């Protein structure tokens, strides 16, 4: 049915005079009237552009009104259109046949304007009410079906989840998933119909109630109790959900105790690394730049003394100039160690090339650098951490491995970067290093940076002599 005040009416009659009269009567109303002079024409119009009401003459040559009505009611696209029969007959039997065919009312000829408009308005109002009710019923059915599907999907997802999922009604657990066993060390059945407050220590009950009564989804971190009364740190997410036609609270709880321990270890490692960097920076300044500046100060003091010959003054000025140049170079070297300018300007591979050439000038080792020199630029923190990992590996090889050759390969992709490192030195215990006992090889510092990059350090594929690493770093 058309929205608004204008309804579509189809008038069907083989008598053109009757159609003219209908058109004049209905013209005064807010209706859009179309006409057909035969049964087949009426069916075509009704299927092409369904009207809101059909005024249909019973007696027509060929296909009469009764047959037209039967075909309309047999087609799902026109079945709901109300049909009012038009007849000049006052035969009760014909009227019964009309209602049996599906008509809702009838109007006799000659037309009475008031009767015609009243009947048309009544059935249009009924049609509109019926359409609204049908639409509401359809929406309600869709909502019920969608709610059932959502409940089933949510329950299936909760069973597939790694965290414990608790369905809570009136502060009692009414349903749980299988993962609750791993998180709380309870059989799921043991948790049912228990107050959820029993899963937290006394000092955590108020916090839990705030989560259940609040509107936020979280996540939060709080302490929970296992069946054996041991405690663990849980990450909690909260959601309200319509389940079995009732609003309930749903909690998803993950045991993050080990994650918190790792975060603590990472923070300590970062602090240790920063402290070592500060000490190294202080040493570089004291031993390098500091000595040059002290010498410069002495020369300036000597230059200020009276009775200096022109030759002595020229000598001191040359020495001051030389010391200033060396101080600038020393300052650049220190700054370059903090954030290499080549890395900042050109990227990871060129910076490693520059570092490798600097190392090889000592003649202590040969560095074989391979990979794509035009690797796409990464985020700044990614580049500096990968660069520091590589330089740390090279420095550890120089200090401890006694190697003659270092092989470093970088493979860049859209999803991840791969770093392969190998030397021909004396090697070390890889498993012991991963366990957190890196000894003198500095692996702890490397592992800290790998964790910051969410990287994955894989063991060597062979037992060849020397140290060997395969590192994968996600780039998304």
- Distances in Å between the Cα of 334 and the Cα atoms of 271, 275, 281, 337, 339 are 21, 16, 7, 5, 9
DSSP string, 10-52: EEE-S-HHHHHHHHHHHHTTTEEEEEESSHHHHHHHHHHS--S
Q: Are 225 and 199 in contact (CB under 8 A)?
A: yes
Domains and CATH numbers, the chain: 7-136 (3.40.50.2300), 161-255 (3.30.450.20), 257-335 (no CATH), 339-476 (3.30.565.10)
- Distances in Å between the Cα of 270 and the Cα atoms of 97, 188, 265, 380, 383 are 92, 41, 9, 18, 17
Q: Are 365 and 404 in contact (CB under 8 A)?
A: yes
Neighbours of 230 (CB within 10 A): 10
User: Which token pair is 340?
Assistant: 């290499």
Neighbours of 10 (CB within 10 A): 23
Question: Which among 176, 189, 201, 194 is positioned nearest to 253, based on CA atoms?
Answer: 176
pTM: 0.38
Report how far residue 165's alpha carbon sits from residue 157's, in angstroms, rounded to the nearest whole number: 10
Report how far residue 177's alpha carbon sits from residue 157's, in angstroms, rounded to the nearest whole number: 9
pLDDT by residue for the chain (476 residues), tens only, comes to 444 457 899 999 999 999 999 988 888 888 889 999 999 999 999 999 999 999 999 989 999 999 999 999 999 889 889 999 988 777 778 788 888 999 998 888 888 888 889 989 999 888 888 888 878 888 877 776 666 665 565 555 555 456 888 888 888 988 888 888 778 887 767 788 889 888 999 988 999 999 888 888 888 899 999 888 899 999 998 988 777 777 888 888 888 888 887 777 766 666 666 666 667 667 666 656 666 677 778 778 887 888 888 888 888 788 888 878 777 776 766 665 656 667 777 888 888 888 888 778 767 789 999 987 777 888 888 888 888 888 888 888 887 788 899 999 998 878 888 899 888 888 765 555 555 454 444 576 777 788 888 888 776 655 557 778 888 888 87
Report how far residue 104's alpha carbon sits from residue 84's, in angstroms, rounded to the nearest whole number: 6
The conformational region for residue 8 under phi > 0 = left, psi -120 to 50 = alpha, else beta, is: beta
Report how far residue 217's alpha carbon sits from residue 289's, in angstroms, rounded to the nearest whole number: 55
Q: How many helices (H) and strands (E) does the chain have?
A: 16, 15
Q: Are 166 and 176 in contact (CB under 8 A)?
A: yes
Token pair 């009227």 is at which residue? 95
> What local confidence, expressed as pLDDT, does residue 471 receive?
87
CA atoms within 13 A on the CB side of 370: 10
Report how far residue 369's alpha carbon sits from residue 353's, in angstroms, rounded to the nearest whole number: 7
Neighbours of 311 (CB within 10 A): 8
Report how far residue 373's alpha carbon sits from residue 131's, in angstroms, rounded to the nearest whole number: 70
Token pair 């500060």 is at which residue? 278
Bridge partner list, 416: 474
| Helix boundaries (H) for 161-256 | 180-184, 188-191, 205-213
CA atoms within 13 A on the CB side of 23: 11
User: Which token pair is 229?
Assistant: 């009364």
């Amino acid at each position: 049915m058309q929205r608004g005040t204008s309804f579509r009416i189809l008038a069907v009659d083989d008598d053109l005079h009757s159609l003219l009269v209908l058109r004049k009567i209905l013209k005064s109303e807010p209706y859009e009237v179309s006409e057909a002079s035969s049964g087949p024409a009426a069916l075509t119009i009704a299927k092409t552009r369904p009207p809101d009401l059909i005024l249909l003459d019973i007696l027509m040559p060929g296909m009469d009104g009764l047959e037209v009505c039967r075909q309309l009611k047999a087609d799902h696209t026109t079945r709901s259109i109300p049909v009012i029969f038009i007849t000049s007959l006052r035969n009760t039997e014909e009227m019964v046949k009309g209602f049996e065919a599906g008509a809702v009312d009838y109007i006799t000829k000659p037309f009475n304007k008031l009767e015609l408009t009243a009947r048309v308005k009544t059935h249009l109002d009924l049609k509109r009410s019926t359409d609204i009710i049908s639409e509401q019923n359809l929406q309600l059915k869709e909502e019920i079906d969608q709610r059932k599907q959502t409940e089933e999907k949510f329950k299936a997802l909760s069973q597939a989840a790694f965290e414990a999922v608790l369905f809570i009604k009136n502060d009692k657990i009414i349903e749980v998933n299988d993962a609750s066993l791993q998180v709380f060390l309870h059989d799921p059945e043991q948790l049912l119909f228990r107050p959820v407050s029993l899963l937290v220590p006394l000092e955590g009950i108020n916090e839990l109630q705030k989560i259940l009564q609040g509107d936020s989804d979280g996540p939060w971190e709080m302490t929970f109790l296992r069946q054996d009364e041991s405690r663990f740190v849980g990450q909690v997410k909260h959601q309200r959900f319509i389940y079995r036609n009732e609003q309930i609270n749903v909690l998803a709880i993950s045991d993050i105790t080990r994650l918190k321990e790792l975060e603590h270890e990472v923070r300590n490692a970062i602090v240790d690394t920063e402290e070592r960097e500060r000490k190294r920076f202080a040493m570089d300044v004291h031993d390098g730049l500091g000595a040059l500046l002290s010498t410069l100060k002495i020369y300036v003091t000597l230059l200020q003394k009276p009775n200096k010959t022109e030759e002595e003054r020229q000598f001191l000025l040359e020495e001051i100039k030389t010391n200033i140049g060396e101080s600038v170079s020393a300052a650049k070297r220190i700054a370059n160690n903090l954030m290499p300018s080549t890395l900042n300007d050109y990227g990871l591979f060129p910076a490693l090339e520059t570092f490798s050439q600097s190392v090889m000038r000592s003649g202590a080792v040969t560095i074989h650098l391979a990979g794509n020199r035009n690797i796409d630029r990464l985020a700044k923190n990614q580049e500096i951490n990968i660069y520091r990992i590589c330089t740390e590996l090279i420095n550890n090889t120089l200090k401890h491995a006694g190697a003659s050759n270092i092989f470093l390969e970088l493979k860049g992709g859209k999803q991840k970067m791969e770093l392969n490192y190998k030397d021909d030195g004396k090697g070390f215990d890889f498993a012991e290093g991963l366990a957190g006992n890196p000894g003198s090889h500095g692996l702890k510092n490397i592992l800290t940076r790998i964790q910051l990059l969410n990287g994955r350090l894989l063991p060597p594929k062979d037992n060849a002599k020397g140290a060997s690493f395969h590192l994968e770093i996600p780039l998304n």
